C-alpha cells in the first residue's frame, strides 16, 4: 500500500461527520461510500494540510473527475503523491 494512503485515511477519519466503514479502501467513493459533501471535502483539505505540513489545494483533483462519484480514496492518493513534495 502506498505511503500516502495512511495520511489520507487519517485525514478522512478526522474530517468525517458521518460514520465510516471500519476499513477504508482505495476504491471507496467519497460521495457514495464515505458520505462526504463539499463542506466535508473542505474540512478534509484542512486535515491533509495539517498532516503533510504544506498547503493542499484539492480543486484540481475535484475538477479531474467527470462524475463526483469518481472521487475515490485512491484518486486522492494519486493526486497527493503528485502535488506534495517529499
The CATH number for 9's domain is 1.10.1200.10
Rounded CA separation 24/46 (Å): 19
List beta partners, residue 71. Answer: none
Specify the number of domains making up the chain.
Answer: 1
Grid cell at residue 54: 504544506
Q: Residue 1's pLDDT is what?
A: 57
- Taking only the tens place, the pLDDT of each residue in 29-86 is 999 999 999 999 999 999 999 999 999 999 999 999 999 999 999 999 999 999 986 4
By residue range, what is the domain housing residue 10?
3-83
Q: What is the mean pLDDT of residues 13-28?
A: 96
Q: Residue 86's pLDDT is what?
A: 47
Lowest mean pLDDT among 1-5, 20-24, 31-35, 39-43: 1-5
Amino acid at each position: 500500500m502506498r505511503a500516502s494512503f495512511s495520511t489520507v485515511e487519517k485525514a478522512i477519519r478526522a474530517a468525517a461527520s458521518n460514520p465510516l466503514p471500519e476499513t477504508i479502501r482505495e476504491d471507496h467513493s467519497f460521495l457514495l461510500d464515505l458520505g462526504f459533501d463539499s463542506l466535508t471535502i473542505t474540512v478534509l483539505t484542512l486535515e491533509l494540510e495539517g498532516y503533510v505540513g504544506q498547503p493542499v489545494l484539492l480543486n484540481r483533483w475535484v475538477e479531474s473527475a467527470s462524475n463526483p462519484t469518481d472521487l475515490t480514496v485512491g484518486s486522492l492518493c494519486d493526486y497527493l503523491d503528485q502535488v506534495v513534495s517529499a
